[in-house]
Chains A and B, each alone.
Chain A
Amino acid sequence: MAESVLDGNALAGPLRELFAVDVTAAIGRCEGCGRVGPVATLVLYGPAPGLVARCPGCDAVVLRLVRGPDRAWLDLRGVTSLEIPLNSHLSGQI
Chain B
Amino acid sequence: MNGRLVWRVARLVEARDETPTARTLVLEVPDWPGHLPGQHVDVRLTATDGYSAQRSYSIASAAGAEGDTRVELTVQRVPDGEVSPYLAEVFAVGDPVELRGPVGGWFVWRAADPAPVLLIGGGSGIVPLMAMVRARAAAGSRVPFRLIYSVRSPEDVLYADELRRRGRDDFGLDVAYVYTRQSPEGFPRPPGRIGLATLAGHGWPADFAPACFVCGPTGFVETVADFLVAQGHDPRRVKTERFGPSGG
Q: Does A59 contact B (CB under 8 A)?
A: no
**Size range of the chain B interface in the assembly:** 35 or more
The reply to whether B35 and A9 contact each other, CB–CB distance below 8 Å, is no
**Taking the nearest CB of chain A, how far is it from the CB of B58, in angstroms?**
9
From A4, A6, A25, B106 is in contact (CB under 8 Å) with: A25
The reply to whether B1 and A13 contact each other, CB–CB distance below 8 Å, is no
A16 touching B5 in the complex, CB below 8 Å, given contacts A24-B104, A93-B102:
yes
Give bound CA distance, A71 to B248, whole Å: 26
Give bound CA distance, A5 to B245, whole Å: 7
Interface string of B78-113 (1 = CB under 8 A from A): 000000000000000000000011111111101010
Chain B 122-173 residues near chain A, CB threshold 8 A = none
A89 touching B112 in the complex, CB below 8 Å, given contacts A4-B245, A47-B54:
yes
The reply to whether A40 and B104 contact each other, CB–CB distance below 8 Å, is yes
A13 touching B42 in the complex, CB below 8 Å, given contacts A5-B218, A93-B102:
yes
Among A10, A14, A17, A85, residue most surrounded by chain B Cβ atoms (within 10 Å) = A10
Give bound CA distance, A22 to B241, whole Å: 16
Among B54, B107, B110, B239, residue most surrounded by chain A Cβ atoms (within 10 Å) = B107
Among B54, B103, B239, residue most surrounded by chain A Cβ atoms (within 10 Å) = B103
A9 touching B34 in the complex, CB below 8 Å, given contacts A92-B1, A93-B102:
no
Residue in chain A with minimal CB distance to B1: A20
The reply to whether B104 and A9 contact each other, CB–CB distance below 8 Å, is yes
Q: Does A3 contact B (CB under 8 A)?
A: yes
Q: Does B48 contact A (CB under 8 A)?
A: no
Q: Does B20 contact A (CB under 8 A)?
A: no
Give bound CA distance, A88 to B102, whole Å: 14
Give bound CA distance, A21 to B106, whole Å: 12
Chain A interface (Cβ < 8 Å from any Cβ of B): 3-7, 9-10, 12-14, 16-17, 20-22, 24-25, 38-41, 47, 85, 88-94
Chain B interface (Cβ < 8 Å from any Cβ of A): 1-5, 33-36, 40-42, 54, 56, 100-108, 110, 112, 218, 239-247
